[in-house]
Chains A and B, each alone.
Chain A
């Protein structure tokens, strides 16, 4: 199971805080961030546009990650826009 979180503007655009994806159903397909991003973008419309690489940053287990970062069962993956604190 992967837990996928959304924050900031992106959370409102995709109208979702949190999603879970069972890995057993997609075992071969979702082993990197790039593949997860692609799968989520298949939901279409705003998902395709706003989850684009460069538009939505990604953290795996609370560490900023890149497209090649490997995903494992139990990981928490967060997608969010560039940060604006301070």
Chain B
């Protein structure tokens, strides 16, 4: 096996152990593997959330995710990268997103993982609509997410 980039936008769930193993098996030279998983919360802005719908712009999503991963590779020396983002109807506690990065030493993998998530949240064309006990509500973008993406 050798280093790889895997990007997938999908409705189906992913198996964390399987994705982790693929990254681990991809080479023997990397000593660090950092993963992040985003989950559907049951509360947002003090409202009880019962479900989440994720819309995206298919033709653009893949392009943007590719660009984000390329930018990460330019900034840090990285091994394998896996980005999986789900779309469609999700339930509370479902997995939304997986980002896994390997590198020789931990700092690059930590930074790149955070960079990919910060950029994904502010650049990739996904929109969340929450189902709450008070009705459906589109989530509004947060300034704090924009600030986080600016620090890189």
Are A and B subunits of one complex?
A: yes
Using a CB–CB cutoff of 8 Å, the interface residues on chain A facing chain B are 5, 7-9, 12, 59, 62-64, 76, 78, 80-86
Using a CB–CB cutoff of 8 Å, the interface residues on chain B facing chain A are 38, 54-57, 59-60, 63, 85, 96-97, 117, 120-129, 138-141
The contact sample of 9 A-B pairs, CB cut-off 8 A, is: A5-B57, A8-B127, A62-B57, A81-B141, A82-B122, A83-B125, A84-B128, A85-B97, A85-B126
The reply to whether A85 and B124 contact each other, CB–CB distance below 8 Å, is: yes
Return the 5 tightest CB-CB contacts between A and B, nearest first. A85-B126, A82-B141, A8-B127, A62-B60, A86-B121
Q: Which residue of A is nearest B99, CB measured? A: A86
Q: Which of A64, A82, A86 has the most CB of B within 10 A?
A: A86
Known contacts A7-B57, A8-B55, A64-B123; A84 and B117 CB within 8 A of each other: no
The reply to whether B127 and A7 contact each other, CB–CB distance below 8 Å, is: yes
Q: Which of A8, A63, A85 has the most CB of B within 10 A?
A: A85
The reply to whether B96 and A80 contact each other, CB–CB distance below 8 Å, is: no
Distance of A57 from chain B, by nearest CB (Å): 9
Assembled-state Cα–Cα distance A9/B127 (Å):
8
